[in-house]
A and B are shown apart, each in its own frame.
Chain A
Amino acid sequence: MRAFWLLVFVPLAIAGYLAVRVSADGAELRRHQLQGLLDGRLDDVRSRASQSIAKLERQLADELANAPTAPEDLRALERKIPLARQVFRLDRDGGLAFPTPRDASSEELGFLERTASIWAGRAILSGGRPPDARKGGVKGAPGIGDSLIDLAGIAEHGWQTWYWAEGLHLLFWRRAPDGGVIGVEVERIGLLARVVGALPTTGLEDGRIELADSRGDTVTQWGPMLPVDGATATPDSTLAMEPPLDSWQLRYFMSPAQRDALTAGPGLALFLGLGGIALGMLVLAVYVYREYTRRLRDAARRVGFVTRVSHELRTPLTNIRMYAELLEEHGDDDEDQARRARVIVSESERLGRLIDNVLDFARHQRGKLAARPDHVEIDEAVREAVKKLEPVLAARSIDVRFELAGEGRRVAGGDALDQIVTNLMSNVEKYAPGGEVTVSTHAVNGHVVVAVSDRGPGVPAGERIAIFEPFHRAGDSLTEASGTGIGLAIARELARAAGGDLALADSASGARFELTLPVAKDPP
């Protein structure tokens, strides 16, 4: 039993473990796939912004190619370049050549104020090597002028960002032919508008994409999903913009429905499927186990039957042989000889009844059990059948009381009736010795009923159906009453073959068996 259930639960446990692993691996895979999908979408958005900035770079570089040096030319250039807030010029030493405070306009003074910190070296430098000490300006304080000169020795143009007041500011610079640098402060709002204009704000079916600045504030956002006021949502994916806006980032927020749709994997379905398989296996295991135990029980019953048949055959045979030898040994004692001869006859009859039962059972197994058509008078046949067992019943102190009211009715199958009554009385002898048994007959509705009622312990409630099963015994221990376990089975089959039935009726005490047979219509 233990091994059997191990064979069921071990595969289930292994399958469950594998299912959990597969589900976990699947979930991990789906997370990676989802992350890749979101990263891809953000990368697509970033690339468009980057393309827009690159285009602006080319435009600015072209505009600054001539790199005039005179202030009037520089001011004229500024007016010409869109998105240029202020033009600036560095000499080859890194010093700010234009604008200068001496002849600056108000806008130029504003530029000088905004950029004062970077020329003084307090701004955040982008890329390049750390700046050298500025020549001129604030003594000992590093500035970006030298670094731009250094960068100009390396690259044609580039960006420089710094923070001042309301946020990020950008300088675009280009190497000048004289070894200096010319550049513009880019109009931040205009640049932002150009970047936002390049973003693919359509085609997002669900969720939301945000462009956030370096402080985390949303610069712009799009998508059908609206943010919940006051809620701080964690983005499902983030991606930093490319320079010069690399302190900004794109954020992707998935809607709950979108997240569920993309993350729902086969986990639940897998477990449901596994549960279904497990249930099926369990049902199959239970069925196999029950079938197996049923066959074991049947086999055990057959073995028990063979054992009991062997015992039942051998015991009377032993007696026959033993008494026959006693007769032979003491052949000159007439009185004893007669007694011994009676024993031999009685035991032979007992053996004959047992053999009849076994043969009938064998015929029943082959489907060839049938009642013979001979008709007998019911009361007379019942009395004769019981009479043959009188010596056996007397030896067990069983008194027989007859209440025969068949009123001359006749039934078919005299031999079957004899065997049925004999089997019933044999059971009384085994299970209800030392008491009274009532054998009665009466007619009802075209049938006759033969009842055998004893005063024994009766049949337990749980055995009332099983007692008619072949080989069934109340117990198989060595101390149980003798018998093969087929008597009642054969009796009922004979009754049914004769068109009637045998049943265990309700009884206040003891056991009451009722044999019902149809009244024979025409005498044979």
Chain B
Amino acid sequence: MRVLIAEDDATMRNGLTEILEGEGYDVSAAPDGAVALDRWTADKADFVLLDIMMPQRSGYDVCREIRRSDREVPIVFLSAKNEEIDKVVGLELGADDFITKPFGMRELVARVRAISRRCYQRATAVPAASFTIGGIAVSPGELRATLADGSVVELSLREVKLLSTFAANPGVVLDRDMLFRTCWGGGKYPNSRTLDMHIAKLRKKIELDRNTPAIIRTVRGVGYRYE
């Protein structure tokens, strides 16, 4: 799933990119409104995060232009302009949500996941059909998994991709390269610590004991395997 971010503050732009790539999204980050529109024109996105006060073209302008060609793509404003009128203007222009700064990462991720559920059919990398892995029922379209004890956990897109890849290859050792190709794609090769970090997060959610994982096991020096 592709995300277009338009944010002139470089620190925030990099932080958002890191967070959303960690979630499994392909991120295109633009430093101003004009570049954002160029990126949109050249290669559409599955949803858009827009700052409002930006050089060249404001977030309002970018939203207006995107809506001219696509009335469906989710658009979320990230802005320090928190007056009610600002929110009204943004929503009237066609935005789907308005996140006020300062926001925390968790809040951002929750909002983005909610949007992803709505536009899941636009994504092509992850199958929409539910599947089971290790007694866990995974619903890709909802980015959720139901555990054996009936509890429901939220999953990131990356985590859904990882589980889907493991479920499709039971008993097969999947090395890091293969997992990067399948779950990151686009020629992206984060460092191995990133993969380990995601696996650790996933285990924390689905394993009864993350220190003694039963579903996704580590194969030292090679990768991981679903038993």
Chain A interface (Cβ < 8 Å from any Cβ of B): 307, 310-311, 313-323, 325-326, 329-330, 332-333, 343, 346-347, 395, 477-482
Q: Does A322 lie within 8 Å of B106, measured CB to CB?
A: no
Given A323-B15, A330-B197, A311-B81 contact (CB < 8 Å): yes
Q: Does A326 lie within 8 Å of B80, measured CB to CB?
A: no
Name the distance in Å between A286's Cβ and chain B's nearest Cβ: 33
Q: Does B35 contact A (CB under 8 A)?
A: no
Determine which of A325, A343, A479 lies in contact with B54 in the assembled complex, contact meaning CB atoms within 8 Å.
Answer: A479
**0 or 1 for each of B6-45: is its CB under 8 Å from A? (1 = yes):** 0011111001101100000000000001000000000000
The interface centre, meaning the residue of A307, A323, A325, A479 with most chain B CB atoms within 10 A of its CB, is A479
| List of B residues within 8 angstroms of A325 by Cβ | 104-106
Interface residues of B in 163-196 (CB under 8 A from A): 193
| List of B residues within 8 angstroms of A479 by Cβ | 33, 53-58
Q: How far does the alpha carbon of A332 sit from the alpha carbon of B15 in the complex, in Å?
A: 18
**0 or 1 for each of B188-220: is its CB under 8 Å from A? (1 = yes):** 000001000100000000000000000000000
A317 nearest in chain B by CB position: B102
- With contacts A322-B15, A322-B103, A479-B57 known, what are 8 further pairs, Cβ within 8 A? A315-B9, A317-B101, A322-B105, A326-B15, A346-B11, A478-B60, A479-B55, A482-B53
Name the distance in Å between B181's Cβ and chain A's nearest Cβ: 23
A and B contact pairs by CB, cutoff 8 A, 20 listed: A310-B81, A311-B53, A311-B80, A311-B81, A313-B80, A314-B82, A314-B101, A315-B12, A316-B11, A318-B103, A319-B15, A322-B12, A322-B16, A322-B103, A322-B105, A326-B105, A332-B197, A478-B52, A478-B59, A479-B54
Q: How far does the alpha carbon of A330 sit from the alpha carbon of B193 in the complex, in Å?
A: 10
The interface centre, meaning the residue of B55, B81, B102, B193 with most chain A CB atoms within 10 A of its CB, is B102
Q: How far does the alpha carbon of A22 sit from the alpha carbon of B106 in the complex, in Å?
A: 80
Q: How far does the alpha carbon of A60 sit from the alpha carbon of B208 in the complex, in Å?
A: 156
| List of B residues within 8 angstroms of A319 by Cβ | 9, 11-12, 15
Q: How far does the alpha carbon of A318 sit from the alpha carbon of B80 in the complex, in Å?
A: 9
Determine which of B11, B19, B53 lies in contact with A478 in the assembled complex, contact meaning CB atoms within 8 Å.
Answer: B53
Q: Does A321 lie within 8 Å of B12, measured CB to CB?
A: no
Name the distance in Å between A517's Cβ and chain B's nearest Cβ: 33
Name the distance in Å between A319's Cβ and chain B's nearest Cβ: 5
Number of B residues, CB within 8 Å of A: 31
Q: Does A307 lie within 8 Å of B102, measured CB to CB?
A: no
Given A317-B101, A325-B105, A343-B11 contact (CB < 8 Å): yes
Q: Does A333 lie within 8 Å of B197, measured CB to CB?
A: yes
Q: How far does the alpha carbon of A401 sit from the alpha carbon of B106 in the complex, in Å?
A: 43
| List of B residues within 8 angstroms of A481 by Cβ | 55
| List of B residues within 8 angstroms of A311 by Cβ | 53, 80-81
Q: How far does the alpha carbon of A501 sit from the alpha carbon of B44 in the complex, in Å?
A: 53
Q: How far does the alpha carbon of A330 sit from the alpha carbon of B15 in the complex, in Å?
A: 13
Name the distance in Å between B88's Cβ and chain A's nearest Cβ: 16
Given A479-B57, A482-B53, A321-B11 contact (CB < 8 Å): no
Name the distance in Å between B100's Cβ and chain A's nearest Cβ: 8
| List of A residues within 8 angstroms of B80 by Cβ | 310-311, 313-315, 318
Q: Does A307 lie within 8 Å of B81, measured CB to CB?
A: yes
Name the distance in Å between A82's Cβ and chain B's nearest Cβ: 110
Q: Does A478 lie within 8 Å of B12, measured CB to CB?
A: no
Given A310-B80, A333-B197, A347-B58 contact (CB < 8 Å): no
Q: Does B193 lie within 8 Å of A333, measured CB to CB?
A: yes
Interface residues of B in 72-106 (CB under 8 A from A): 80-82, 101-106
A309 nearest in chain B by CB position: B80
Determine which of B11, B57, B82, B104 lies in contact with A310 in the assembled complex, contact meaning CB atoms within 8 Å.
Answer: B82
Q: How far does the alpha carbon of A478 sit from the alpha carbon of B33 in the complex, in Å?
A: 11
| List of A residues within 8 angstroms of B55 by Cβ | 479-481
Determine which of B12, B54, B193 lies in contact with A318 in the assembled complex, contact meaning CB atoms within 8 Å.
Answer: B12
Name the distance in Å between A312's Cβ and chain B's nearest Cβ: 8
Q: How far does the alpha carbon of A322 sit from the alpha carbon of B82 in the complex, in Å?
A: 18
| List of B residues within 8 angstroms of A329 by Cβ | 105
Q: Does A314 lie within 8 Å of B56, measured CB to CB?
A: no
The interface centre, meaning the residue of B9, B19, B52, B80 with most chain A CB atoms within 10 A of its CB, is B80
Q: How far does the alpha carbon of A322 sit from the alpha carbon of B59 in the complex, in Å?
A: 21
B34 nearest in chain A by CB position: A479
| List of B residues within 8 angstroms of A343 by Cβ | 11, 15
Interface residues of B in 88-138 (CB under 8 A from A): 101-106, 108
| List of A residues within 8 angstroms of B197 by Cβ | 330, 332-333
Q: How far does the alpha carbon of A479 sit from the alpha carbon of B61 in the complex, in Å?
A: 10
| List of A residues within 8 angstroms of B103 by Cβ | 318, 321-322
The interface centre, meaning the residue of B19, B33, B53, B81 with most chain A CB atoms within 10 A of its CB, is B53
Q: How far does the alpha carbon of A310 sit from the alpha carbon of B15 in the complex, in Å?
A: 20
Q: How far does the alpha carbon of A478 sit from the alpha carbon of B80 in the complex, in Å?
A: 12
Given A310-B80, A315-B101, A347-B11 contact (CB < 8 Å): yes
| List of A residues within 8 angstroms of B52 by Cβ | 478
A310 nearest in chain B by CB position: B80
| List of B residues within 8 angstroms of A320 by Cβ | 102
Q: Does A326 lie within 8 Å of B18, measured CB to CB?
A: yes
Given A395-B10, A478-B60, A322-B104 contact (CB < 8 Å): yes
Q: How far does the alpha carbon of A315 sit from the alpha carbon of B103 in the complex, in Å?
A: 10
B51 nearest in chain A by CB position: A315
| List of B residues within 8 angstroms of A315 by Cβ | 9, 12, 80, 101
Q: Does A321 lie within 8 Å of B53, measured CB to CB?
A: no
| List of A residues within 8 angstroms of B81 by Cβ | 307, 310-311
Q: Does A326 lie within 8 Å of B11, measured CB to CB?
A: no
Q: How far does the alpha carbon of A110 sit from the alpha carbon of B101 in the complex, in Å?
A: 130
Q: How far does the alpha carbon of A314 sit from the alpha carbon of B82 in the complex, in Å?
A: 10
A333 nearest in chain B by CB position: B193
Q: How far does the alpha carbon of A343 sit from the alpha carbon of B104 in the complex, in Å?
A: 16
A336 nearest in chain B by CB position: B193
| List of A residues within 8 angstroms of B104 by Cβ | 321-322, 325
Name the distance in Å between A478's Cβ and chain B's nearest Cβ: 4
